[in-house]
Each structure stands twice: as structure tokens, then as C-alpha cells.
């Protein structure tokens, strides 16, 4: 399992914050007459940060680095053999 490089907590996800984002929502009326809001789509943002869900440390601003952090505790398999995780 991945660990936060700041606090050492075991983590299974990172919080992702996108700043100055443009988000599109679909508003509709349901058959019973209530208003429904769904289908949100983020179309643009200026920058993003990935935070530890335990200590709220900003760990990276790179999606690739965020993926590396989450995969850091995952056993890697090459040619059927488990190798040391980075």
C-alpha cells in the first residue's frame, strides 16, 4: 500500500484540487417535478494540487507524480516475477 511521504500514513487515494476551474453541470426537471443537477464536467483549470488525505500535505502538482505516489506501494511484476517497488 502507498504511504504519504510527509506523514507516513498508508493511503489509497489522494485529494485532487483544481483551481480556477470551469465546471459544466446539467440541470433538468425530473418526471415528478423536482430539479436534478448531474453530469458535471470539468472543462478547464489553471493549476492543480494533490494532497495527502490524512495530513493534508501538498505532495505534488503533477498528475504523473501523483500516480507514482499511489503506485509506490504496489508490487511490480515483470515477466511473471515480483520485483521491489520503488
Q: DSSP for 22-33, please give it.
A: EEEEEEEE-TTS
Domain-embedded: residue 58: yes
Domain-embedded: residue 84: no
pTM score = 0.67
Domain-embedded: residue 80: no
Domain-embedded: residue 29: yes
pLDDT digits (tens, 9 = 90+) for 29-47: 999 999 999 878 877 888 9
Q: How far apart are CA 72 and CA 55, in angstroms?
A: 18
Q: Is 62 helix (H, G, I), strand (E, B) or coil?
A: coil
Domain-embedded: residue 86: no
The pLDDT of residue 43 is 78
The pLDDT of residue 85 is 47
Distance from the Cα of residue 64 to its chain's centroid: 11
Domain-embedded: residue 60: yes
How many other β-carbons are positioned within 10 Å of the β-carbon of residue 69?
20
Q: How far apart are CA 68 and CA 70, in angstroms?
A: 5
Domain-embedded: residue 82: no
The domain total for the chain is 1
Domain extent for 62: 2-72
Amino acid at each position: 500500500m502507498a504511504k504519504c511521504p510527509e506523514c507516513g500514513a498508508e493511503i489509497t487515494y489522494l485529494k485532487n484540487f483544481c483551481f480556477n476551474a470551469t465546471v459544466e453541470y446539467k440541470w433538468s426537471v425530473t418526471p415528478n417535478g423536482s430539479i436534478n443537477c448531474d453530469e458535471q464536467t470539468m472543462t478547464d483549470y489553471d493549476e492543480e494540487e494533490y494532497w495527502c488525505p490524512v495530513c493534508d500535505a501538498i505532495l505534488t502538482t503533477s498528475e504523473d507524480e501523483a500516480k507514482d505516489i499511489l503506485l509506490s506501494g504496489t508490487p511490480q511484476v515483470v515477466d511473471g516475477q515480483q520485483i521491489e517497488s520503488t
